[in-house]
Amino acid sequence: MKPGFFVKEALRSIRRNPIPSFAAMASMLVTLLVLGVFIPMVQATTGAANTVRGRVLLDVYMQRDATSSDIARVRARIDNNTPHVKKVEYVSKGQAYKQESARNPEAYKLLGSNPLPDTFRVTPDDPDNIGAILNSLAPRNTAGHRQLADQSIERVRNEKDQTDKILTVTKLVKWAMVILTSLLVLASVLLVSNTIRLSLFSRRREVEVMKLVGATDWFIRWPFMIEGVALGAIGGVMAVLLLAVGKVALIDPLSNDFALIAAPKTMPFFALAALLLGASVAVSAAGSGLSLRRFLRV
């Protein structure tokens, strides 16, 4: 192996084919730019959607006169006999009264006594499973009415309208993001591999001649791959630089004013840059190596 020779061959090829080289680099640059803008956007959106979904809860109100044994029984029921429960929080009458009166002291002073029941706040493992919990604690009877599973439970309440709305909207957002992302990734891979293939296709005669002179496959392949990786890396570095400029010039000043942009769930810029660079090098190496395989069969 002669790395120096291969690198020289790759550089010669870039110099002698400036237009295809530029096209490959530019397509890599554009693709990475779009991805680099899009990935944080997807993360921010799904992060926001997940926060909203995390707020979906089910409240189980006990009868006012529930005894401590009733409470223990219901808690055991929720803990052991109810599916999809992630977390149960018990709020006693006293705690609830303290919380509510702290929030609204005058109203509760007027009231005099504590009208609040003991409550279990049930968090489902997945917001979509809230219906299953509801069905377990208050199954429907044959007539279609809900019947409570324990007589000491007064009411099971989930903010139905609100929950449904949150679930549909966030689901929609997530799916839209998944579809958009996969389309974008697919388009970028096709764009890059097509550009590489075009530039190789214009040189298939060259490959043929090399083979007839007795060059081994890897002797032909190395310069092509080095060339592809070099172009991919140049495109990647330029994309990262542009993204950094955009981040410093646009996003950072705005993030002080807008909460959405400052959404904490996006990955750090350094990781994003490393990911984009790695992807550009890997895709261009694989792209040129694989595309070349067709022309090597002489």
Nearer CB in complex with other proteins: 209/274:
209
Applying CB under 8 A, which part among 37-45, 159-167, 200-208, 259-267 lies near other proteins? 200-208
Q: Kindly provide the residue ranges of all beta strands, DSSP E only, lying in the chain, ordered along the sequence.
A: 58-62, 85-91, 119-124, 153-157
Q: Which of 70, 125, 159, 206 binds other proteins (CB under 8 A)?
A: 206
Closer residue to other proteins in complex, CB, 100/217? 217
Q: Which is nearer to other proteins, 97 or 219 (CB)?
A: 219
Dihedral pair phi/psi, residue 104, rounded to 5°: -140, 65
Beta carbon of residue 285, minimum distance to other proteins (angstroms, whole number): 22
Strand ranges (DSSP E) for 51-177?
58-62, 85-91, 119-124, 153-157
Does 7 bind other proteins (CB under 8 A)? Our answer is: no
Question: 3-state class of 104 per DSSP?
Answer: coil
Q: Which stretch binds other proteins (CB under 8 A): 12-20, 113-121, 223-231, 261-269?
A: 12-20
Using the contact rule CB under 8 A, the part of the chain among 166-174, 177-185, 205-213, 227-235 near other proteins is: 205-213
CB 268 within 8 A of CB 179: no
Select the span of 8-16, 57-65, 99-107, 189-197 touching other proteins (CB under 8 A). Answer: 8-16
296: left (phi over 0), alpha (psi -120 to 50) or beta: alpha
Closest distance between other proteins and the C-beta of residue 198, in Å? Answer: 16
Q: Say whether residue 165 binds other proteins (CB under 8 A).
A: no
Contact 178, 86 (CB under 8 A): no
Binding-site member from 216, 249, 258, 294 for other proteins (CB under 8 A) = 216
- The alpha carbon torsion through 278, 297, 222, 292 (nearest 10 deg) reads -30
Pairing of strands 85-91, 153-157: unpaired
Q: Give the footprint of other proteins on this chain (CB under 8 A).
A: 2, 5, 12-13, 16-17, 205-206, 208-217, 219, 298
